[in-house]
Every structure is written in C-alpha cells, then in structure tokens.
Amino acid sequence: MTASHMSERPSLDERLNRPLSIGGKPVANRLWLAPMAGLGHIAYRRLLDEYGGCGLMFTEMCSAKAVPTENRTVSPVFRWRDEELPRLVCQIVGATPEELIPAARRVEDEGFFGIDINMGCSASGVVKRNSGAALLKDPVAALAAVEAVRKEVSIPLFVKFRTGWTPDVGPAVALAQQFEAAGVDCLVFHPRVAPDKRTRPPAIDHIRVIKEAVSIPVFGNGDVVLPEECLSMLDKTGCDGVSIGRMAMARPWLFAEWTAGFEPSASAFRDYALRLADLLDHYYDPIRALKRYRLFTIYFAANFKYGHSLQTRFLGAKSMADIRAVADEHIKPGMPLTRRPNMNMYSI
C-alpha cells in the first residue's frame, strides 16, 4: 500500500462513529459493551456512562425463567436505571420458546432498546439446562427460540453466539443465515468453539465468514485489547462494529478514548477503583457488593506489572471499607503499567 493510500485509511474513531441503526433504531456508535455475567451490572454500567463513548450496553445474563417475576429494585441482575434504557440491551438465557417468550415480553414492556438471546455461554450450569451455547448443538431448537421471540416483540433482536462445538464454522454460517431469515436484527459473534475457555486465540477470520454470509449487522468480539487491534478486526473481517468485554472491565474509559479521544488522568485507575466501590455500595448489600468487587479485581489488577500482589490484597479484603483502604494505600499515580493487561490473570 502506498503512503498516499495509507493516509486515506479512516482512523479508528472515524470508523467507530459512522452512523448505524439496528432494527430501525439509531445507535450512537459501533463500539459496544459485551454482556458479562457478574460484571456488567447496574453499578458498572453507571460508571461506564460517566466516562461515555459506549454505543450500546448489554446487561448481565438474565435467566429467562426468572425475568417475568423479577423485582427490579432487588434483583442482582435484572436491574437498571431508567435513563440508560434507550441504549441498554437485556440479554436473556433460556432453552425453549416457553421460557423465552414471557421474558421477552417483559423486556419490551420495560422499555429496553433490545433483547439479546445468549447462545454463547458454555458454563456447565447453563449448558446442562440446554441453553446458552448448548443451543448451538441443536440448530432446530436455536431457530425455534429466535422465531418465537421475534413473533412476540418488535424491539431489536440480537443473538450472541460462538463458532459452535467444533472448529468448523459451517454450522455457524448456516445458523446466521437462518437467524437473519427469522428476523434477527444484529449478530454478535465470538469466534471460538464453545468449550474453549480462551486458551487459544479467537479465529478472527470466522467473523469475516459470518459477515459475508448475511446482510444484517455483525459485531465482532474476542481479545480486542488495543486500539490497533480494534481497527484490525474492522479491516480484516468487514464487521460492522466491535463488542468489548474484559478490556471494558480493565479500562472503562477505552470507549471514550477510541471514539472521542479521551485521555485518562494520572489518577484514573485509583479513581476507577474507588468509584466502583461507591456504586456497588449504593446498589447492593455489603456481601453482594464485596463479591462483585472481587470479580472486578481480576481485570483491574491485570493492568499493572505487579498486579498479582495488588489482586491478593484486594481478595484479602473482608469488607468494602477494606477495599477502599487497599485502593487508597496501594494504587498510586506512576505505578508500572502493562500496555496489554496480563491475560494470564483472567479467569473467565
């Protein structure tokens, strides 16, 4: 490529800020928060909104069986702020139309931007119930679930799914085409086999194969850490946007960085650690707040060259007051950072 052609290549922020609509509804940009169990909760999403730059946020994985009767003021997962609903998608997990339809109706009635059916989670407890990634083993059941939900609701419908249970992308391509025909508005694709707990790199080219097979938007997901990797995924796969998971927990300001040129302050990591503690205290009881903070520390501590030591201190905390004390004492401006967080520390 010549220098003149390289200069014409759109920058990352230009790519991410291109207009986009999903199911006829406009979306702010093409960089989204991936759904993450135990992590994408109401407290974290409020903090993320304070930084800005995220086009769509997804809830934690919500049980379709539980959603119809959940009380949003006490539920740990089916919980939200009214002001985030115009840019919030609720992810539901279930096995059958009978489970999914009542949940989908409730999600639409509450005013969410859209519904996402989880076909990517391979946790044993989910798979044993024939939901999540287990649906990829049964394309007939997967399609029946999508068709049933599509007939019941008019808001945008998403499916988050993986390559399947073998490395062959062919079945995923066939499903993607069936999902489009059934009225799905957007696919979020994680190019790994379901049993793979991120021990191998994602097969990024599979995103291109899925994108070329359908005409609806396809978002790529999987190990995007640095801005150049985000741009590379967009360039190499032709995907319509990128869904960020674990890096969103490590550095929540990356959405504003990559879409609007935000620059974090010298105290950004300490401020983040303390603000999340405050918000968890606000929304959850002390036991649940502490449990969720501990989950977050895996990703947060991975930012630092001596992250194992910091995480050990956080995990030794017995209360949220202890958490704040660790943050105050041990997170300082100028601490040695890693450009890429230490992926070996990530447990999920």
Tokens of 184: 């799905």
- To the query of whether residue 121 is one of the catalytic residues in this protein, the response is yes
Tokens of 14: 């230009």
Catalytic residue among 54, 62, 90, 121: 121
User: What SS3 string covers the chain?
Assistant: CCHHHHHHCCCHHHHHCCCEEECCEEECCCEEECCCCCCCCHHHHHHHHHHCCCCCEEEEEEECCCHHHCCCCCCCCCCCCHHHHHHEEEEEECCCHHHHHHHHHHHHHHCCCEEEEEECCCCHHHHCCCCHHHHHHCHHHHHHHHHHHHHHCCCCEEEEEEEECCCCCHHHHHHHHHHHHHCCCEEEEEEEECCCCCCCCCCCHHHHHHHHHCCCCEEEECCCCCHHHHHHHHHHHCCCEEEECHHHHHCCCHHHHHHHCCCCCCCHHHHHHHHHHHHHHHHCCHHHHHHHHHHHHHHHHCCECCHHHHHHHHHCCCCHHHHHHHHHHHCCCCCCECCCCCHHHCCC
Residues involved in catalysis: 121
